[in-house]
Amino acid sequence: MFHIAICDDEKRFIQYMKNIIYNAGLKRGEVIFYEFSSGEEFIDYLKETASFDLLILDMQLKNMDGNETAKEFRKVFPTTTLVFCSGVCMPTVRNFETIPFRYLLKGYTDERMRFEMKTIINEMINKKVEPFIIGNNHYNLVKLRPSDILYIAIAKRGSCIHICPNIIEYKFEENITSKEKIESLYNLLKDYGFAYAHNSYIVNLKYIKKVTTTELQLVDDTKLTISRSKAKNFREEFAKVLAKKY
Amino acid sequence: MELLDKFILFAGCVAEVYMVFDFYNNFFNIRKIVKSQLVIIIISILIITLLFVVNLFGKAYLNLSLFPIILWIYVTILFDTDIGTRLIYLVISISIIVGCEFIFVILLKIPSYFVKQTSFMELTDITWQVLKMKLLTYILFTILKQVSSKSKNKLSGKIFLMYLCVPIASLCILLITYYSGVDFSDNIMIKVMMLICFCFMLIGNVLMFYAFNIYEKEVYNGIQQKSIIMKKDVELKYYIQITEVNEENKRFIHNSSNYLKVIGELAKAYKIENILEIVKELNIELENNEMKIYSGTPVLNAILSAKGLWAKKQSISFDVYVEPVIHLGNVTDSDLITILGNLLDNAIRAAASCENNKSVKVRIFMQNEGNFCVIKITNRFTGKLCKTEGGFLTTKEERGIHGIGLKSVESIVKKYNGYLNCFIEDKEFQAIVFLSL
């Protein structure tokens, strides 16, 4: 079952998007829609919601605009697929902070809208089937999705998992460890945008902020060296992952 | 030791240091701190003097042990490379130099106790042998540079063989002169003249390869300059087009406000048919505007629409999507033109050669929270593309000029801490550029 939220002050557009979603391949029985007409209404509802798989958010909302709403949404759901839509307003650089997957223009033709929606739904489904990795924190077991992980480094017995700082759920004082060796974790995660930057660590490529020939910087400002032997392969993998979006 | 002996010894040191320098220079870059030619010459003279002084002691073992150390210091000061690689190349260089010396020790039947005592015989007696030895060393170094895949200055196979005739012929002349039994030992004047002439012959051999390398570099620079002029022409055309389009846009905006006023007046008078006519006119004008608005960046729009028109003329489907929020940071207009111009030229040319399904797909978007701008160009192609270490080999006829296209894209992209990567997937060629912003 997919939980899709649509937040737009135009009732007609919400209905239009629902039809497009059905036309793009989702069946009536497998989707639950949540409709909101303002940012405030949506944020209030967030407190009592367990999960969302997709949010379609109008950028031009009264009072609390789309960007503000998205920021609040990201605090609770840091990895859920977010799609901005807009009539005339062009998005600004500020919108990157909320990591939207697509920007839909209301003026798109039906065909174009359907095409974009198919891609969005694929992304949503892929996120839903992401594998879990079990990590240890003292005597606790922690379930981690690939998008929760910043990078994994070799540790004494197995590996040490570093979590993305934007993920509130896992704010541990100490690092999470895994008994699995880095090679086996890589085999599990390579299809989810991970690559070796060095023999002793694998990095989630979507959390890279800056990269040079010899060094990379992650979103939490951690700097890691790219070893010479891995540089070429790392660069190719990084390009492939970046280019995957379209 | 006689003065002539010392001169031969000194010339030998010069030759050895030059050969080692040339060998390393062929594979590695000189350190930035010693980039000036004067510094290189001073360091080389110091090293030559040091080698010469060590040789003057005349002790074979001292020579054998200090020679590698001095050369190691020399290459460490001059060349920017890691210790392991530097050591391997030094071992190769010394093996060639010492190897050649041993060959001559064997040929000259010098007894081993003699070698233990001193590193040289009366050099004036074996002038030719010394010259032959150095020439052989030089030939071996030249062949090694030519056969190594990592070599920076390589001649084409045919030209190398042609040029190789000269040092081999020189070596043969030296050998034949020696074995023909001509004896100059009585006539010092002729002996010195012969020595000078053979020295010139040796220097001539070295200079010949040096001159050809310089000539090749000049030719390459010439081609590059030609391509830069071509690119500048293209840029100029783009700028002219942008100005024209801006003028067109201004005129359209001006007209639109007039049209709106008229529409307002007509609406007041309920003249719906006239309003419809004006709207129709406006639509036609919009359709005729060949400049498509893909993004908020005028230069990007200009390149994409110009290339789109070119693709259309060749019946190629040109599918462009630029994410609305695209921002290109500090990327200058001319750099953007070079990157997109070259990549799109390549893509359209390759797609045009296909018999059917001619298509070029362009996607420009932001990734990783807006930290990277990605330009992805996909096109279909026919024929074979050869993947080399440096990228893909062009299938175009004029290799000299066209190879520079991707190289110039690569060098510009590197300026922005980005990369150009090329992949082949499902008979499609994919060029992916990412720029770190």
- Say what the pLDDT of residue A169 is: 62
Contact B85, B145 (CB under 8 A): no
Using CA atoms of B278, B281, B283, B286 in order, give the dihedral in degrees to the nearest 10. -130
Residue A74 has pLDDT above 90, yes or no: no
Q: Does domain B292-437 sit in CATH 3.30.565.10?
A: yes
Minimal-distance CA residue of chain B relative to A204:
B368
pTM above 0.90, yes or no: no
Give the rounded percent of residues in chain B with a pLDDT score beyond 90: 10
Closest Cβ–Cβ partner in A97, A236, A243 for B374: A243
Size of interface A-B (CB pairs under 8 A): 71
Evaluate if residue B51 carries a pLDDT over 70: yes
Residue B36, pLDDT > 90, answer no
The CA–CA distances, whole Å, from B61 to B74, B187, B240 equal 20, 34, 74
Average pLDDT, chain A: 88
Among A127, A157, A172, the domain boundary falls at A127
First to last CA, chain B: 68
CATH of the domain at A198: 2.40.50.1020
Three-state SS at A102: strand
Q: Among B17, B15, B9, which residue's Cα sits nearest to residue B70?
A: B17
Phi and psi (nearest 5°) for B53?
A: -60, -45
Number of domains, chain A: 2
CB-CB under 8 Å, B417 with A96: no
> Which residue of A91, A206, A236 is in closest CB contact with B325?
A91
Query: Hey, which residues does B430 pair with through a beta bridge?
Result: B378, B423
User: Which of B324, B367, B423 shows the shortest C-beta gap to A242?
Assistant: B367
User: Which carries the bigger pLDDT value, residue B150 or residue B316?
Assistant: B316
Among B89, B151, B324, B352, residue whose Cα is nearest residue A85: B324
Interface test with A, best of B368, B388, B429 (most A CBs within 10 A): B368
Q: Is B81 on the interface with A (CB under 8 A)?
A: no
**Chain A hits for B369, Cβ within 8 Å:** 96-97, 99, 209, 219
Mean pLDDT of A198-222: 92
**Reported confidence tier of residue B228, pLDDT bands at 50, 70, 90:** confident
Q: Which residues of chain A have a CB within 8 Å of the CB of B421? A: 235-236, 239-240
Lowest mean pLDDT among A193-207, A222-236, B217-231, B234-248: B234-248
Q: Does A167 contact chain B (CB < 8 Å)? A: no
**Residue B367 to residue A211, Cβ atoms within 8 A:** no
Q: Among residues 91-130 of chain A, which lie with CB inside 8 Å of chain B?
A: 91-93, 95-97, 99, 103, 105
Q: What is the pLDDT of residues B89-123, one digit of tens each?
A: 888 888 888 888 877 777 666 555 554 544 444 55
**What is the C-alpha to C-alpha distance for residues A146 and A191, in angstroms, rounded to an integer?**
10
Q: Are residues A38 and A101 in the same domain?
A: yes
Higher pLDDT, residue A166 or A195: A195
Domain ranges for chain B, please list them.
2-182, 292-437
Question: Is the model more confident about B380 or about B119?
Answer: B380
Min Cα separation B421/chain A (Å): 7
Taking each continuous run of H as one helix and of E as one strand, the counts in chain A are: 6, 15
**What are the start-end ranges of the E strands in B293-344?**
317-322
- Give A-chain residues touching B323 at CB under 8 angstroms: 103, 246
**% of chain A with per-residue pLDDT over 70:** 93
The answer, for B392 touching chain A at a CB cutoff of 8 Å, is no
Q: Region B123-139: what's the mean pLDDT?
A: 73
Burial class (CB in 10 A: 0-12, 13-18, 19+), B84: exposed
Q: Do A239 and B372 touch (CB under 8 A)?
A: no
Instruction: Identify the pLDDT of residue B354.
Output: 84
Residue type, B123: L
The verdict on A153 and A117 lying in the same domain is: no
For testing the chain A interface, which of B293, B320, B323, B325 should be mutated: the one with the most A CBs within 10 Å?
A: B325
B24, pLDDT greater than 60: yes
pLDDT reported for residue B183: 67
- Give per-residue pLDDT as tens, B286-305: 555 555 667 777 778 878 88
User: pLDDT at position A171, please?
Assistant: 63
Residue B222, token pair as written in the block: 């010439």
Q: What angle do CA B199, B205, B209 make, to 5 degrees?
A: 145
pLDDT(A227) > 90: yes
Q: What's the whole-number average pLDDT of chain B?
A: 79
How far is Cα B260 from Cα A100, in angstroms, rounded to an integer? Answer: 37
Among partner residues A90, A95, A242, which is closest to B372 by beta-carbon distance?
Answer: A242
Query: Whole domain around residue A176: which residue ranges?
Result: 133-245
Q: Based on the domain organization, do A9 and A114 belong to the same domain?
A: yes
Question: What pLDDT is recorded for position B400?
Answer: 41
Task: Determine whether B18 is exposed, middle or buried from the number of CB atoms within 10 Å of its CB (0-12, 13-18, 19+).
Answer: middle
B382 vs A195, higher pLDDT: A195
Q: Does residue A8 sit in the same domain as residue A120? A: yes
Closest CA to A104 of A24, A205, A43: A24
Q: What does the pLDDT read at residue B398?
A: 43
Residues of chain B with pLDDT > 70, as a percent, come to: 84
Q: Is B430 in a helix, a strand, or coil?
A: strand
pLDDT recorded at residue A62: 84
Contact A103 B323 (CB under 8 A): yes
Residues B58-98: pLDDT tens digits? 777 788 888 889 999 999 998 888 888 888 888 888 888 88
| Chain A touched by B371 (CB under 8 Å) | yes
Beta strands across the sheet bearing A102-105:
A31-36, A2-7, A54-58, A81-86, A102-105
B184 — phi, psi (to 5°)? Answer: -105, 10
A143 and A70 share one domain? no
Report the phi/psi class of residue B391: left, alpha or beta, with left for phi > 0 and alpha for psi in -120 to 50. left
pLDDT of residue B432: 93
C-alpha to C-alpha distance for B54 and B38, rounded to whole angstroms: 24
| Radius of gyration, CA atoms only, chain A | 19
Averaged pLDDT for residues A140-164: 89
Per-residue pLDDT, averaged over A211-223, amounts to 90
Region of poorest pLDDT, from A213-222, B23-32, B130-139: B130-139
- Which are the contacts of A60, defined by CB distance < 8 A and separation ≥ 6? A66, A86, A87, A88, A89
A245 touches chain B (CB under 8 A): yes
Q: A212 contacts in B (CB within 8 Å)?
A: 417, 436
Best to test chain A binding among B421, B424, B436, B437 (most A CBs inside 10 Å): B421
* Digit-coded pLDDT (tens) for A46-56: 877 778 899 99
Instruction: For chain A, list the strands marked E by DSSP.
Output: 2-7, 31-36, 54-58, 81-86, 102-105, 133-137, 140-144, 149-155, 158-163, 176-178, 194-198, 201-204, 208-211, 215-218, 223-225
Q: Which residue has the higher pLDDT, B417 or B241?
A: B417
Q: What are the tens digits of pLDDT across the range A3-40?
A: 999 999 989 999 999 999 999 888 888 899 999 999 99
Q: Is there a contact between A150 and A197 (Cβ–Cβ < 8 Å)?
A: no
Residue A93 is nearest to which of B370, B417, B421, comparing CB atoms? B370
**Contact (CB<8Å) B423/A240:** yes
Span between the terminal Cα atoms of chain A, in Å: 26
* Long-range contacts at B157-161 (CB < 8 A, ≥ 24 apart): B159/B212
Place of tokens 């093996």: B95
Give the pLDDT of residue B395. Answer: 54
The last residue of a domain, from among A127, A147, A175? A127
ipTM topping 0.85 = yes
Query: Is A145 found in the same domain as A219?
Result: yes
pLDDT at residue number B161: 79
**Nearest residue on chain A to B320, judged by CA atoms?**
A246
Distances (CA, A) of B260 to A88, B248, B278, B286: 19, 18, 9, 15
Q: What's the confidence (pLDDT) of residue B387?
A: 55
pLDDT at B118: 47
Mark which of A127, A153, A179 sits at the end of a domain.
A127
- Judged by a CB distance cut-off of 8 A, whether residue A89 touches chain B is no
Contacts of B417 in chain A (CB under 8 A): 210-212
Interval B228-251 mean pLDDT: 72
Output the domain CATH number for residue A61: 3.40.50.2300
Note the pLDDT tens digit of each residue in A93-136.
666 778 889 888 887 888 889 999 999 999 999 888 888 888 88
CA distance A202 to A152: 5
Place of tokens 């920017």: B80
Q: What is the pLDDT of residues B160-204, one digit of tens each?
A: 777 778 888 887 887 777 677 666 667 778 777 877 887 788 788
